[in-house]
Chains A and B, each alone.
Chain A
Amino acid sequence: MPEAMTVNADEPRLVRKLYRSSDGRWLGGVARGLAGHLGLPVVWVRLIFVGLLSAEGLGALLYAAFWFFVPLGVGGLGAERRSPLVTEVAQDGKRRLVARKPDKGEIVALIAMVAVAMAFLGSVKLDITAKAYLWPTLLVGAGVALVWRQADNARRARWVEASRRRRNLTLARSAAGVLLVGTGVTGIFVLQGSAEDLGAILQASLAVLVGIALLAGPYLVRMTQDLSEERTMRIRAQERAEVAAHVHDSVLHTLTLIQRNAENAGEVRRLARAQERDLRAWLYKPDGNGKDEEGEDGPANVADAVRRHAAEVEDKHGVPIEVVVVGDCPLDDRLTAQMQAAREAMVNAAKYGGEGGAVQVYAEVEGPTVFVSVRDRGPGFDLDAVPADRMGVRESIIGRMQRNGGTARLRAVPDGGTEVELTMERAERTS
């Protein structure tokens, strides 16, 4: 049996293992895999198989053997195309038997093959009875091919993170394969024996099948359960390792920096706060993996935006900012403007009110309204006392809010400090 086909290539290279190609295969990927392994064009290999087919159907047997014993892999002729993993992901949504548009050469090869096969079938000198067996046998072959291919697909989906195909399609394919095999086998029986034995034979085989199912069923079920359990455990372990690695590196790094900057209190505080934020993001993100789900263009919703701005201001000005967010909604243009205004308010609070302790930021999404308040416990300031040419607050906070249809309110808190309240209606109602 041709399982150990590890042929040493002429040039001193690593031993190449023979794999069946999962990319651009027609049936089992055997020809493509062999071609890649032997360095021949695929068309040649396929023609050789077809040629062998005329030798008493040896080609089919050989092909089947290869299919059965050679593992599916990312081998084969993949050099002249993009990495199979990428192409597959892109196209796996709608895979037919052929994954890509075949080029001209292949079409020619296919036609040649069909022609040869037809010639072979026509030329086979079979007596009448054997001829009758031909169709059931072909049926069985087709059924087996279908089921095996399905198994290949299932296996490939493991390491090609394919978009989940609809389950029923998979089932339908397998069922069709089984049906074909069943029909073929029944056909053979019908031809072989007289038809009245068929009932007894079917009953007997059914009994055998049921017996096997009873014996092996629990074992199989347990095995699949164990397998899936083992997989979940592995995934969990991977996630844990990922978090551990991240935490480990960044925390150690920060601790080193803190030791180095021990005499610079502000820097130490900033480092510690940044690390704390980072760690919290990892530990308490709703999805639990702490990954940033932000695209290139920054945060997509209010909660993330508020936190992001607060973090940046905190880092820049070295004043702790406590953030509390209630509710959430996606950002639109108006809300983005509001976030900018909120950021300006945070900067002001950190600059002028940071001595009084932490700046408290509160954001709330309630129905169509988004409200943000930024308060500090600094000395407070009087907007009217700010000269008109100082555009900071007037423009970047109040003006920005008003231009976008919102309101900004600055007020002195009785017991010291300043509070900025920003209110904005969301543009579209997507509750």
Chain B
Amino acid sequence: MSDVTGTSGTTGAPRTDPGTSGDGRRVRVVLVDDHRMFRTGVQAEIGRTETTGVEVVGEAADVDQAVTVITATRPEVVLLDVHLPGGGGVEVLRRCAPLMSDATAPVRFLALSVSDAAEDVIGVIRGGARGYVTKTITGDDLINSVFRVQEGDAVFSPRLAGFVLDAFASTDAPPVDEDMDRLTQREREVLRLIARGYAYKEIAKQLFISVKTVESHVSAVLRKLQLSNRHELTRWATARRLV
């Protein structure tokens, strides 16, 4: 977790020629999902590299394949399904941990799922994914999320924000670690607005802060999520045998 947001995402990944996307950004992506139809759909929606800047460099349908493909292609972002044959998205994250913490060209994961189960969602986040979106997300939003993950930011869907607020809800249980087990007032406000369907820009306007500040709050929450020992989180994590 050495991501300091605020630094713009100049990853050391080999850059291909800039396409004709809005600002010439390019990102190399691997799709991991056991439903071929879904992979095809995503490919069709975001994979038109010339217009979107997203280049799909590999696909995988189960855990072993995923690890192989990711290791071989070294993408910048992996779109990872939570439910996968062979141990689920969590297992992919576990086996790709060294790639995630690579100093020069880290592989970053964005979880994608139809699941509504808190333990699934919290599970992949604790496993190291930089965000979670539902599969109902529009193509444009997905592309934006991919670029945001590429830059090292966190991507929270309203549902994930809701889960996190729930997990960090004020309980009587004393926090194990004061810094990690509590959300600041600001973080809470930001999460609440995400849960209410606000985009980062709108949140910034609403709270009179910059978008960068919003992003750093979200990243801080992500870090707490991954490191906290709060019993709700631990419970969700153990439900997926993560701890």
Residues of A whose CB lies within 8 Å of any CB of B are 280, 283-284, 320, 322, 324-327, 357-358, 360, 362, 364, 366-367, 373, 375, 413-415, 419
Q: Given known contacts A324-B159, A327-B166, A360-B158, is B196 in contact with A373 (CB within 8 Å)?
A: yes
In the bound assembly, the distance between CA atoms of A366 and B189 in angstroms comes to: 13
In the bound assembly, the distance between CA atoms of A322 and B196 in angstroms comes to: 9
Task: Give every chain A residue within 8 A of B142 (Cβ-Cβ).
Answer: none
Given contacts A283-B117, A415-B199, 4 further A-B contacts (CB under 8 A): A324-B195, A326-B169, A360-B197, A375-B196
Whether B205 lies near A362 (C-beta < 8 A) is no
Whether A322 lies near B197 (C-beta < 8 A) is yes
Task: Give every chain B residue within 8 A of A284 (Cβ-Cβ).
Answer: 115-117
Task: Give every chain A residue within 8 A of B162 (Cβ-Cβ).
Answer: 324-326, 362
Whether B115 lies near A326 (C-beta < 8 A) is no
Whether A324 lies near B161 (C-beta < 8 A) is yes
Whether B202 lies near A413 (C-beta < 8 A) is yes
Interface: B35 (CB within 8 A): no
Residue from B115, B165, B196, B202 in contact with A414 in the complex, judged by beta carbons closer than 8 Å: B202
Q: Distance in Å from the Cβ of B169 to the closest Cβ of chain A?
A: 6
In the bound assembly, the distance between CA atoms of A366 and B188 in angstroms comes to: 12
Task: Give every chain A residue within 8 A of B202 (Cβ-Cβ).
Answer: 413-415
Interface: B36 (CB within 8 A): no
Q: Distance in Å from the Cβ of A306 to the closest Cβ of chain B?
A: 12
Q: Distance in Å from the Cβ of A363 to the closest Cβ of chain B?
A: 9
Closest B residue by C-beta to A362: B196
B145-188 interface with A by 8 A CB criterion: 158-159, 161-162, 165-166, 169-170
Interface: B201 (CB within 8 A): yes
Q: Distance in Å from the Cβ of B233 to the closest Cβ of chain A?
A: 15
Interface: B39 (CB within 8 A): no
Task: Give every chain A residue within 8 A of B161 (Cβ-Cβ).
Answer: 324
Interface pairs (6), CB distance under 8 Å: A284-B116, A324-B159, A325-B162, A362-B192, A362-B196, A414-B202
Q: What total count of A-B pairs have CB within 8 Å? A: 52
Q: Given known contacts A362-B158, A415-B201, A415-B202, is B196 in contact with A326 (CB within 8 Å)?
A: no
Task: Give every chain B residue within 8 A of A366 (Cβ-Cβ).
Answer: 169-170
Task: Give every chain A residue within 8 A of B197 (Cβ-Cβ).
Answer: 322, 358, 360, 362, 375
Task: Give every chain A residue within 8 A of B196 (Cβ-Cβ).
Answer: 324, 360, 362, 373, 375, 419
Q: Distance in Å from the Cβ of B60 to the closest Cβ of chain A?
A: 25
Task: Give every chain B residue within 8 A of A373 (Cβ-Cβ).
Answer: 196
Task: Give every chain B residue within 8 A of A327 (Cβ-Cβ).
Answer: 166, 169
Q: Distance in Å from the Cβ of A35 to the closest Cβ of chain B?
A: 55
Whether B166 lies near A280 (C-beta < 8 A) is no
Task: Give every chain B residue within 8 A of A326 (Cβ-Cβ).
Answer: 162, 165-166, 169, 195
Closest B residue by C-beta to A322: B158
In the bound assembly, the distance between CA atoms of A322 and B167 in angstroms comes to: 20
Closest B residue by C-beta to A281: B116
Closest A residue by C-beta to B167: A326
Which 5 A-B residue pairings sit nearest by Cβ, starting from the closest?
Answer: A360-B197, A324-B162, A284-B116, A362-B196, A326-B165
Whether A283 lies near B192 (C-beta < 8 A) is no
Q: Distance in Å from the Cβ of A353 to the closest Cβ of chain B?
A: 12
Task: Give every chain B residue within 8 A of A414 (Cβ-Cβ).
Answer: 202, 205
**Which of B192, B199, B201 has the most A CB atoms < 10 Å from its CB?**
B192
Closest A residue by C-beta to B169: A327
In the bound assembly, the distance between CA atoms of A140 and B116 in angstroms comes to: 61
In the bound assembly, the distance between CA atoms of A358 and B141 in angstroms comes to: 13
Task: Give every chain A residue within 8 A of B165 (Cβ-Cβ).
Answer: 326, 364
Closest A residue by C-beta to B164: A326
In the bound assembly, the distance between CA atoms of A327 and B192 in angstroms comes to: 13
In the bound assembly, the distance between CA atoms of A413 and B162 in angstroms comes to: 21
Q: Distance in Å from the Cβ of A282 to the closest Cβ of chain B?
A: 11
Task: Give every chain A residue within 8 A of B117 (Cβ-Cβ).
Answer: 283-284
B12-49 interface with A by 8 A CB criterion: none
Task: Give every chain A residue within 8 A of B195 (Cβ-Cβ).
Answer: 324, 326, 362, 364
In the bound assembly, the distance between CA atoms of A362 and B163 in angstroms comes to: 12
In the bound assembly, the distance between CA atoms of A362 and B170 in angstroms comes to: 18
Closest B residue by C-beta to A367: B170
Task: Give every chain A residue within 8 A of B115 (Cβ-Cβ).
Answer: 284
In the bound assembly, the distance between CA atoms of A413 and B117 in angstroms comes to: 31
Task: Give every chain B residue within 8 A of A322 (Cβ-Cβ).
Answer: 158-159, 197
Whether B192 lies near A280 (C-beta < 8 A) is no
Whether B205 lies near A324 (C-beta < 8 A) is no
In the bound assembly, the distance between CA atoms of A366 and B183 in angstroms comes to: 15
Q: Distance in Å from the Cβ of B215 to the closest Cβ of chain A?
A: 18
Task: Give every chain B residue within 8 A of A415 (Cβ-Cβ).
Answer: 199, 201-202, 205
Whether B116 lies near A283 (C-beta < 8 A) is yes
In the bound assembly, the distance between CA atoms of A325 and B158 in angstroms comes to: 10
Closest B residue by C-beta to A328: B166
In the bound assembly, the distance between CA atoms of A320 and B192 in angstroms comes to: 20
Task: Give every chain B residue within 8 A of A364 (Cβ-Cβ).
Answer: 165, 192, 195
In the bound assembly, the distance between CA atoms of A239 and B159 in angstroms comes to: 28
Q: Distance in Å from the Cβ of B9 to the closest Cβ of chain A?
A: 24
In the bound assembly, the distance between CA atoms of A364 and B158 in angstroms comes to: 13
In the bound assembly, the distance between CA atoms of A362 and B166 in angstroms comes to: 13
In the bound assembly, the distance between CA atoms of A280 and B202 in angstroms comes to: 30
In the bound assembly, the distance between CA atoms of A364 and B193 in angstroms comes to: 12
In the bound assembly, the distance between CA atoms of A360 and B134 in angstroms comes to: 14
Closest B residue by C-beta to A280: B116
**Which of A326, A327, A358, A413 has the most B CB atoms < 10 Å from its CB?**
A326
B73-127 interface with A by 8 A CB criterion: 115-117
In the bound assembly, the distance between CA atoms of A373 and B197 in angstroms comes to: 10
Closest B residue by C-beta to A357: B138
Task: Give every chain B residue within 8 A of A367 (Cβ-Cβ).
Answer: 170
Q: Distance in Å from the Cβ of B160 to the closest Cβ of chain A?
A: 9
In the bound assembly, the distance between CA atoms of A327 and B232 in angstroms comes to: 13
